[in-house]
């Protein structure tokens, strides 16, 4: 019963470093997304994907890249980390074309600190 798995759970980066946050799901969901959660800001959408080879920008995409080469994986890349990217990052997946009551499943999050 893995569901959505995010790695790492915690990460500290120096300004300017790059890294990839991993997200994998074993539910064969076509739809996957990345959110960041900051105090008092709720969850804000960074990027999302409706299937392998298809990605689109969300509300706050700047500074982040994504790719979707397989149904299972949806990595999020920080190209040059900045202190403003200090946040908790959540990956979510859901079934596609299953109507309006579709549940989104979230990973446990990656807590990223950029110093």
Partner 1 sequence: TQLLEQSPQFLSIQEGENLTVYCNSSSVFSSLQWYRQEPGEGPVLLVTVVTGGEVKKLKRLTFQFGDARKDSSLHITAAQTGDTGLYLCAGAMGSGNTPLVFGKGTRLSVIA
Closest approach of Cβ 41 to partner 1, in Å?
Answer: 6
For residue 23, the minimal CB distance to partner 1 (Å) is: 11
Shortest separation between residue 66's beta carbon and partner 1, angstroms: 13
Residue selected from 52, 58, 75, 82 as contacting partner 1 according to rule CB under 8 A: 58
In 3D, which of 41, 43, 45 has the Cα closest to residue 55?
45
| 13 or 34: CB nearest partner 1 | 34
**42-51 and 31-38 strand pairing:** antiparallel
Q: Which phi and psi (to 5°) does residue 84 adopt? A: -70, -15
Q: What residue ranges in 26-107 does DSSP mark as E strands?
A: 31-38, 42-51, 54-57, 64-66, 76-78, 87-94, 105-106
- Can you say how many angstroms the Cα of residue 26 is from the centroid of all Cα atoms in its chain? 15
Residue selected from 50, 52, 72, 75 as contacting partner 1 according to rule CB under 8 A: 50
By C-beta, is 14 or 101 nearer to partner 1? 101
Residue 74 binding partner 1, by CB under 8 A: no
Alpha-carbon dihedral 73, 18, 56, 103, rounded to 10 degrees: 50
What does the binding site for partner 1 look like in residue numbers (CB under 8 A)? 4, 31, 33, 35, 40-45, 48, 50, 58, 90, 92, 94, 96-104, 106-109
């Amino acid at each position: 019963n893995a569901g959505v798995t995010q790695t790492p759970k915690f990460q500290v980066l120096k300004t300017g470093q790059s890294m990839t946050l991993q997200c994998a799901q074993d539910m064969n969901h076509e739809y996957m997304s990345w959110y960041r959660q900051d105090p008092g800001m709720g969850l804000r959408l960074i990027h999302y994907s409706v299937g392998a080879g298809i990605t689109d920008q969300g509300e706050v995409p700047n500074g982040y890249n994504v790719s979707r080469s397989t149904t299972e994986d949806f990595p999020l890349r920080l190209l040059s980390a900045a202190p403003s990217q200090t946040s908790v990052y959540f990956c979510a997946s859901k079934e596609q074309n299953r109507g309006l009551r579709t549940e989104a499943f979230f990973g446990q999050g990656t807590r990223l600190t950029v110093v």
